[in-house]
């Protein structure tokens, strides 16, 4: 009997950013940047201001078209997708500066995310999961900044994403709110089968929740690894983390 051998192909990362370059005139915001995110991971993308982190998010979500390189989601070309179609592909995001519809209620803001829902999560699921169910009829304008962050997170969750991009989710939060956020992110990953990629300056949050970290500086990737490996990397210390006094 003839025996057949089958080659086991490696699993495809959920998100692949491959040799991406993005220029704005003479400024190179991303310079041949590559990184990937495996399904089910929490991954940090860190670096000083101007390193290219938000530009990377804007390329992934199709707000920008790169000058070179490829972006693939679940093995398929993402650059062929219109910006309006990214959320239907299963990618949601929050923003560095909270982007809510002023004058609308919490519920109405979260319903905006639900219009592109691709799964079974409901608006009520999202509201109550992030702890703002009782505020559903409040206008977002007068809410504390930390609560507005929760509204934006609920709006992203309501679209039933597979990948959530979080742009500085701890920005403007106090110590207790950051601790609560860390627990929420871990629960989100497990309870909703989510993959999380977060841009963040709060190193305590990144190092406590991320399994892997990619580091950018002046548009180039200078390091990647576990939180412990990145913290000990001399290039990262020089560029961003600083040295202990």
In a domain, 55, yes or no: yes
CATH of the domain at 79: 3.40.50.300
For the chain, strand residue ranges (E) read 15-24, 27-37, 42-46, 68-73, 76-77, 91-93, 163-167, 195-199, 212-217, 220-225
In a domain, 109, yes or no: no
In a domain, 225, yes or no: yes
Report CA Rg, the chain. 19
In a domain, 18, yes or no: yes
Alpha helices in 158-213 (DSSP H): 175-191, 203-209
Could you list the pLDDT tens digit for every one of the 245 residues in the chain? 555 555 554 578 999 999 999 999 999 999 999 999 999 999 999 999 889 999 999 999 999 999 999 999 999 999 999 988 999 899 999 988 888 888 899 999 998 877 665 555 578 889 999 999 999 999 999 899 889 999 999 999 998 899 999 999 998 888 898 999 999 999 999 999 999 999 998 989 999 999 999 999 999 999 999 999 998 999 998 886 555 43
In a domain, 53, yes or no: yes
Report the C-alpha gap between 138 and 35 in whole angstroms.
40
In a domain, 211, yes or no: yes
Q: Which domain holds residue 39?
A: 12-90+164-172+199-245
CA-nearest of 117, 115, 85 to 192 is 117
Tally of domains within the chain: 1
In a domain, 126, yes or no: no
């Amino acid at each position: 009997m003839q025996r057949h051998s089958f080659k086991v192909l490696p699993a495809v990362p959920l998100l692949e950013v491959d040799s991406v370059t993005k220029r704005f005139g003479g400024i190179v915001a991303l310079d041949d940047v590559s990184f990937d995110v495996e399904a089910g991971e929490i991954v940090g993308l860190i670096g000083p201001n101007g390193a290219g982190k938000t530009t990377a998010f804007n390329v992934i979500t199709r707000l920008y078209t790169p000058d070179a390189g490829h972006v693939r989601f679940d093995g398929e070309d993402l650059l062929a997708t219109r910006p309006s179609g990214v959320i239907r592909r299963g990618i949601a995001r929050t923003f560095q500066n909270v982007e809510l519809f002023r004058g609308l209620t919490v519920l109405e803001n979260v319903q905006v995310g639900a219009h592109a829902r691709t799964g079974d999560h409901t608006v009520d699921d999202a509201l109550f999961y992030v702890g703002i169910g009782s505020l559903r009829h409040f206008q977002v304008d007068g809410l504390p900044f930390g609560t507005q962050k929760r509204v934006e997170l609920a709006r992203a969750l309501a679209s039933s994403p597979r990948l959530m991009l979080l742009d500085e989710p701890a920005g403007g939060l106090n110590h207790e709110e950051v601790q609560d956020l860390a627990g929420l992110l871990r629960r989100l990953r497990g309870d909703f089968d989510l993959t999380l990629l977060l841009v963040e300056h709060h190193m305590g949050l990144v190092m406590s929740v991320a399994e892997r970290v990619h580091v950018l500086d002046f548009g180039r990737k200078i390091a990647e690894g576990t939180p412990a490996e990145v913290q000990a990397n001399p290039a990262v210390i020089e560029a961003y983390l600083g040295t202990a006094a």
